[in-house]
Amino acid sequence: MKHLILAAGLPFAVLVAGAQSATAETLTIGLAAEPTSIDPHFHNVGPNNAIATHIFDHLVKRDENQQQMPGLAVSWAPIDDLTWEFKLREGVTFHDGSAFNADDVVCTFERAPNVPDSPSSYGTFTKGKTVERIDDFTIHIKTEAPYPLMPNDIANVAIISDDTGCTATTADFNDGSAAIGTGPYRFASFTPGENLTLQRNDDYWDAAPEFETVDYRFLKSGPTRVAALLSGDVDMISGVPTTDIATLQNNDDISLSQGVSNRVIYLHMDQFRDVSPFVTGPNGEEIPNPLRDVRVRQALSMAVSRDAIVDRVMEGTAIKAGQLLPEGFFGISPNLQPVEYDPEGARALLAEAGYPDGFTMTIHGPNDRYINDARIAEALGQMFSRVGIKTSVETMPRSVYFSRASSGSPEGEPEFSFILVGWGAGSGEASSPLRSLVHTYDSERGFGSSNRGRHSNPEIDAIIEQALATVDDAARQDLLAQAMEMAIETVAVIPTHFQVNTWAARDGLSYVPRTDEYTLAMSVTKD
Amino acid sequence: MTVFIIRRLMQALVVVFLMSIIVFFGVNVIGDPVAMLISPDADQAEMEAAIRRLGLDRPIHEQYFAFIKGAATGDFGRSFIFGEPALKLILSHMPATLELAFTALFLAVAIGIPLGLYAGLYPDSPISKGIMAGSILGFSLPTFWVGLMMIMLFAVHLQWLPATGRGDTGTFLWFETSLVTRDGLSHIMLPALNLALLKISLAIRLTRAGVREAMGQDYVKFARAKGLSPRRVILVHVMKNILIPVVTVMGLELGSLIGFSVVTETIFAWPGMGKLLIDAILQLDRPIVVAYLMIIVLFFVLINMIVDILYSILDPRVRLQEQGA
Amino acid sequence: MTDTQIIAPVPAKAETPFAQFRAEFFESKIAVGALITLGIVVVLALLAPWITPQNPYDLAQVDVMDARLPPGEEAFSGYTMWLGSDGSGRDLFSAILYGLRISLAVGVASGVIALFIGTFVGLFAAYVGGRVETLIMRFVDLQLSFPASLVALMLVALLGKGVDKIILALVVSQWAYYARTVRATALVERHKEYVEAAICLGLSKARIMFRHILPNCLGPLIVVGTVQVASAISLEATLSFLGVGLPQTQPSLGVLIANGFEYMLSGRYWISVFPGLALLLTVVSINLVGDHLRDVLNPRMKK
């Protein structure tokens, strides 16, 4: 796509840019979060998984609401307590023409957890599972205990070819020689930190996507991305900053699409120390940790004006949260509503708990991880200050923040007292936040891995564990909802809001928003 | 000359070695890459495994010796987030940065010297005052602020030039560069001008100061008295004496351009090594940070050496061997 | 000390060098204007806690409901936000003055510390001479060959955020400029007659250095100092823009501009433009003063 240097003539420039995009069938997308590798088993993070979905297929696909659909598997079901059977799709070919069958699945599951140098391995999804080839198009996956989340896990593992992929290195994927999948797009070129080009796979087994060529450009800075869209450099961008949404809405040449994500922004409170390092008395003296008192936690939740966060900080693009996943997801409770803003009630509760003069506290949060994270932390600081809790706010880059928040204290425990964090439910159902954020921290069994407040309630633990071993969907839904209600009731965490993601495209294109925050060229259509 | 070069290279090696210690231990103090890079879905056992895979469970001095051993053979380790050799990633981003820096340097010289010459010859004319005021603005305005203003004006409102990224590249001699395609040139205009702004001001001021100083010197007075035409006095006698300091400083500024390109590359999404560095810093990609600094140290020592050599050619009074004795 | 002396067009020979310098400096209207502007900026920044309607660093006084108000709107608490408010509901007028305090403090503190270190090292090098001098100056040259921005960026990345850390980073990236200036001037002075005379008188080397040579280095040092303070303020803003500078909750001017950067395309120009203008005004007036000082103090530039 050549740009012309024009001395003058703005309308002409626009015409040229527009006409080229339409005829060449090239879709140029400015991505907020760049994929770091084409190897689908190298780094388990959203941007990489989103790109992998273009080139590779998964046994189980997920639609825009993270509901499961047949992918390379046409059907799946547990055949006994410990075995799931997957029937594979016949007649699918890889981009190099070789046929897809059970051997590819078997070798994929061997490679996925064992990629050298992987900073975040796909072993998370393959551990405890043994894949058995039954015939060319049937496999069995066995576990040691009943495992209801099998399809959710399997949906994260991209299937590679046993001819080209399974013995390949990450570099082989990045240069394209091993980037051969069954997906709707073929790999064309990849420059880390710059761009990725894909070509449509015309032999795709499912509906072929609309655009022949897709050029992803990695534009991390929000204003730069918006400028690129407005100047016609790109046709579409992901991650529209909340500050620019109103202006873009009023721009006739731009169309927006928005959708709630699976990401909840929540607050974790130190509930495991007798004296919390960043909580002191009203005059800075050492006091017993007030955050262990459920009334204090309730008061804090009541002091949060979720309306102000949504309307003022997020400029309307967020949804108030009363639990850990938004409406429509599996395992949520229909009975939970966002806590009402009630500063007087909060003061009364604090007084009742023995803190009529409040206390002093520091909120810690990241400043480059979630949408407007630093500003949310500041707004929270303002709100707590109004109910008598002298609050200061400290935000830092995520590179420093997460390690300190997880294990920054001298004993290797979480360092902070009160933190702002977000959680995206990758599995698309409620056990994901419950087991990681609410369940008691237990490194042996892999529970509570992100429970940085160390809330611990054996009753809730028991229900979560029971849910994770219940294969029957209806029964599991009830158990998860029950655990969710208990977690909110005891204020294990304070959810504030769900992020809403926004994509913007030039007029004439539309995008189907996704809860998993992925940007997929397959979901872009011409009007 | 040879002795001089060898001595300089030896010094460079010592500096690189010292830097490697400072930088390696420095970056290992901040944050925990795994805590940031790992998927939140991962449990504690998986985190331990990732720490082992990246070799971060070993004592730091052991990590350092492994690094030095690798570095001696040109292996600076693998990027944590890209999984590719750090050196390869940096080298692949280098042409974009170099072409940006050289274009900016060219703009600085091509715009700055004539303006500075004018301002020096006619110090009291309103145009000169305007030039000097402009040059003060040029180095007072923060680069990032001007960059965004340029995007707003030229890319969003006027739509003359693209706002982001590097354009098509072509091959010139054995280089892959975007300077030989129209698309490439249109893409480099804004970032190069943005990066050059500070250096244009510098070139103006250096040239003006040089001219004003030279005009008062005896040899100029003498040349004038001899009846040489003002044009000849300026172009031959004055310029010859001004160019030496200007060339030296501008050459040294190439390093600063490469350093400052971090800002410009961030704003214009220019895929150079500055953007790679800032991303690596923000994502704790330690191998990239360390390798970048090693390379940049070598690079700067090299630039310095070349400038010194050029200087000695331009000004015979300078003797290279005398330095560093 | 009377005014008539100061504005006298041609300084009389009997005047002290300082009075002569003063007279020459006040010849330029631009420089005087810049000096006055700078004075006003500094006074406003110093008086910030008493003249602003809000303490922007006290979260109890800032309300997110006031966020992004355009200039002239009234805040919830009643006062008028003449310059509008930022994304967290801070009154921009207050935030700019408080931000100026931080930016100036960072710039001046780092400038002064770097000046002391640089002067000492430069004088010491000139004083001892020989191999030690060569070694020190090689090191200075080496550091100068690295862009200050890159040195500061790396240091802040390693040290983390905070006013003290950014000052340290700026000092480390700037001291060498002073060292080089002082040493160069000292070398020139060393060969002048008055120094040779002092040596003949048998004065100690240290005494000559500090009592005779150092005062003569002050001119160039002041010039370098003004430029460096201005560039330190600018550099702090740039580092904050790159996300490694000062913390966001107590914004310096640089942080304010960087935050406003997000609003540039949204039509809320004031969030970035006003802090930008404040920074511009400050840096330009420092540079104008420094520029004119250079002309006045450099004898060879005189007509």
Residue C144 lies in a domain: yes
CB contact under 8 A, B304 and C145: yes
* Residues of chain C found within 8 Å of residue B324, distances taken between Cβ atoms: 134, 138
Q: How far apart are CA A360 and CA A388, in angstroms?
A: 9
pLDDT band at C2 (very low <50, low <70, confident <90, very high): very low
Cβ distance C273 to B142 under 8 Å? no
pLDDT 10s digits, B136-170: 888 788 888 888 888 888 888 888 888 888 888 87
The ipTM is: 0.84
- A160 and A276 co-located in one domain: no
Cβ distance B52 to B96 under 8 Å? no
CB-defined contacts A:B, below 8 A: 199
Q: Minimum mean pLDDT among A253-262, B92-101, B209-218, B283-292: which range?
A: B209-218
Residue C136 domain boundaries: 28-59+79-301
- Chains in contact with C, where contact requires at least 3 CB pairs less than 8 Å apart: A, B
- A299 and A152 co-located in one domain: no
pLDDT band at A477 (very low <50, low <70, confident <90, very high): very high
**What pLDDT does C8 receive?**
42
- A326 and A457 co-located in one domain: yes
**What pLDDT does B314 receive?**
65
Q: Cβ of C113: how many Cβ atoms within 10 Å?
A: 17
- Say how many CA atoms lie within 13 Å of A38 toward its Cβ: 31
* The two three-digit tokens of residue A299, written as one number: 């008061």
Residue A200 lies in a domain: no
Residue A315 lies in a domain: yes
| CATH assignment of the domain containing A389 | 3.10.105.10
Averaged confidence pLDDT in chain B? 83
Alpha-carbon distance A118 to nearest alpha carbon in chain B (angstroms): 7
Residue A56 pLDDT greater than 90, yes or no:
yes
* Residues of chain A found within 8 Å of residue C268, distances taken between Cβ atoms: 243
Residue C13 lies in a domain: no
Say which residue, B190 or C243, is predicted with more confidence. Answer: B190
Is residue A509 classed as helix, strand or coil in its secondary structure?
Answer: strand
Q: Minimum mean pLDDT among A223-227, C40-44, C102-106, C235-239: which range?
A: C235-239
Alpha-carbon distance C203 to nearest alpha carbon in chain B (angstroms): 30
Residue B8 pLDDT greater than 80, yes or no:
no
How many independent structural domains does chain A possess? 2
CB contact C140 to B (< 8 Å)? no
Phi–psi pair at A223, nearest 5 degrees:
-60, -35
Alpha-carbon distance C116 to nearest alpha carbon in chain B (angstroms): 24
CB contact under 8 A, C257 and B282: no
Alpha helices in A273-397 (DSSP H): 294-303, 306-308, 343-352, 373-386
**What pLDDT does A176 receive?**
93
CB contact under 8 A, C243 and B296: no
CB contact under 8 A, B11 and C145: no
Alpha-carbon distance B79 to nearest alpha carbon in chain A (angstroms): 9
CB contact B156 to C (< 8 Å)? yes
CB contact B139 to C (< 8 Å)? yes
pLDDT 10s digits, A130-178: 999 999 999 999 999 999 999 999 999 999 999 999 999 999 999 999 9
CB contact A230 to C (< 8 Å)? yes
Alpha-carbon distance B157 to nearest alpha carbon in chain A (angstroms): 8
CB contact under 8 A, C64 and A379: yes
Nearest residue of B to residue A47, measured between CA atoms: B39
Say which residue, B229 or A353, is predicted with more confidence. Answer: A353
Residue A185 lies in a domain: no
Look up tokens 């091959």; give the residue: B171
- A151 and A290 co-located in one domain: no
**Which of C248, C264, C269, C271 is the best mutation test for A, with the most CBs of A within 10 A?**
C248
* Residues of chain B found within 8 Å of residue A243, distances taken between Cβ atoms: none
Q: How far apart are CA A115 and CA A87, in angstroms?
A: 27
CB contact under 8 A, B164 and A118: no
**What pLDDT does A17 receive?**
39
* Residues of chain A found within 8 Å of residue B56, distances taken between Cβ atoms: none
Alpha-carbon distance C236 to nearest alpha carbon in chain A (angstroms): 17
Alpha-carbon distance C157 to nearest alpha carbon in chain B (angstroms): 7
Q: Which of A368, A375, A382 sits opposite C59 (nearest CB)?
A: A382
Q: How far apart are CA B148 and CA A397, in angstroms?
A: 23
- Say how many CA atoms lie within 13 Å of A35 toward its Cβ: 29
Question: Dihedral, CA atoms, B122, B128, B129, B134, nearest 10 degrees?
Answer: -160
Residue C67 lies in a domain: no
**What pLDDT does A320 receive?**
97
Q: How far apart are CA B50 and CA B47, in angstroms?
A: 5
CB contact under 8 A, B35 and A407: yes
Nearest residue of B to residue C295, measured between CA atoms: B209
**What pLDDT does B317 receive?**
60
Residue A123 lies in a domain: yes
Nearest residue of C to residue A221, measured between CA atoms: C262
* The two three-digit tokens of residue C281, written as one number: 């005004």
- Say how many CA atoms lie within 13 Å of B164 toward its Cβ: 31
Write down which residue in A146, A170, A194 finishes a domain: A170
CB contact A375 to C (< 8 Å)? yes
**What pLDDT does B316 receive?**
61
Nearest residue of B to residue A122, measured between CA atoms: B42
CB contact under 8 A, C67 and A313: yes
pLDDT band at A19 (very low <50, low <70, confident <90, very high): very low
Residue C149 lies in a domain: yes
* Residues of chain A found within 8 Å of residue C59, distances taken between Cβ atoms: 378, 381-382, 385, 391-393
Alpha-carbon distance B292 to nearest alpha carbon in chain A (angstroms): 15
- A153 and A269 co-located in one domain: no
Residue B188 pLDDT greater than 80, yes or no:
yes
Alpha-carbon distance C60 to nearest alpha carbon in chain B (angstroms): 31
- The predicted model gives A401-430 an average pLDDT of 92
Alpha-carbon separation of residue A189 from A174, B81, B91, B220 (angstroms): 8, 19, 18, 60
Is beta strand A493-506 parallel, antiparallel or unpaired with respect to C73-74?
unpaired
**Residue A356: in which H helix or E strand, if any?**
none
Alpha-carbon distance B171 to nearest alpha carbon in chain C (angstroms): 30
pLDDT 10s digits, B230-253: 777 777 777 777 877 787 777 778
| CATH assignment of the domain containing C155 | 1.10.3720.10
Nearest residue of A to residue C266, measured between CA atoms: A244
Residue C130 pLDDT greater than 90, yes or no:
no
Give me the domains of chain B, ranges plus CATH numbers: 86-282 (1.10.3720.10)
CB contact C301 to B (< 8 Å)? yes
- A166 and A268 co-located in one domain: no
**What pLDDT does A125 receive?**
93
Q: Cβ of A519: how many Cβ atoms within 10 Å?
A: 25
b/e C74-96 (16+ beta carbons within 10 angstroms → b): ebeeeeebebbbbbbbbbbbbbb
Report B:33-52 residues touching A (Cβ under 8 A): 33-47, 49-50
**What pLDDT does A198 receive?**
96
CB contact under 8 A, C244 and B23: no
User: Quick one: A349 exposed, middle or buried, by C-beta within 10 A (0-12, 13-18, 19+)?
Assistant: buried
Residue A16 pLDDT greater than 80, yes or no:
no
CB contact under 8 A, B262 and C242: yes
Residue A397 pLDDT greater than 60, yes or no:
yes
Residue A126 domain boundaries: 47-170
How many independent structural domains does chain C possess? 1
Q: Which of C59, C87, C243 sits opposite A393 (nearest CB)?
A: C59
Residue C271 pLDDT greater than 50, yes or no:
yes
Q: Cβ of A344: how many Cβ atoms within 10 Å?
A: 9
* Residues of chain B found within 8 Å of residue A407, distances taken between Cβ atoms: 32, 35
Q: Which of C146, C154, C157 sits opposite B255 (nearest CB)?
A: C146
Q: What would the DSSP string read from start to end of B229-273?
A: -HHHIIIIIIHHHHHHHHHHHHHHHHHHHHHHHHHHHHHHT--SH
* The two three-digit tokens of residue C115, written as one number: 């000046």
Contacts for A82 with CB less than 8 Å, ≥ 6 apart: A142, A143, A144, A145, A146, A147
**What pLDDT does A459 receive?**
96
CB contact under 8 A, B263 and C149: yes
Residue C245 lies in a domain: yes
Residue C66 pLDDT greater than 80, yes or no:
yes
**What pLDDT does B315 receive?**
64
Averaged confidence pLDDT in chain C? 83
Q: How far apart are CA A482 and CA A486, in angstroms?
A: 6
Residue A184 lies in a domain: no
pLDDT band at C214 (very low <50, low <70, confident <90, very high): confident
CB-defined contacts A:C, below 8 A: 78
* Residues of chain A found within 8 Å of residue B166, distances taken between Cβ atoms: 194
- The predicted model gives C8-16 an average pLDDT of 52
Say which residue, A289 or B161, is predicted with more confidence. Answer: A289
Alpha-carbon distance A375 to nearest alpha carbon in chain B (angstroms): 19
Q: Which of A230, A309, A375 sits opposite C87 (nearest CB)?
A: A375
Q: Which of C88, C248, C265 sits opposite A227 (nearest CB)?
A: C265
User: Quick one: A351 exposed, middle or buried, by C-beta within 10 A (0-12, 13-18, 19+)?
Assistant: middle
CB contact under 8 A, C280 and B141: yes
- A273 and A164 co-located in one domain: no
CB contact under 8 A, C283 and B263: no
Name the pTM for this structure. 0.87
Say which residue, C152 or B234, is predicted with more confidence. Answer: C152
**What pLDDT does C63 receive?**
87
**What pLDDT does C62 receive?**
87
Residue A387 pLDDT greater than 50, yes or no:
yes
* Residues of chain C found within 8 Å of residue A243, distances taken between Cβ atoms: 87, 262-263, 266, 268
CB contact under 8 A, C157 and B301: no
Is residue C126 classed as helix, strand or coil in its secondary structure?
Answer: helix
CA angle B1, B7, B12 (to 5 degrees): 125
Q: Minimum mean pLDDT among A154-158, B10-14, C268-272: which range?
A: B10-14
- The predicted model gives C154-173 an average pLDDT of 84
Q: What would the DSSP string read from start to end of B88-127?
A: HHHHHHHHHHHHHHHHHHHHHHHHHHHHHHHHHHSTTSHH
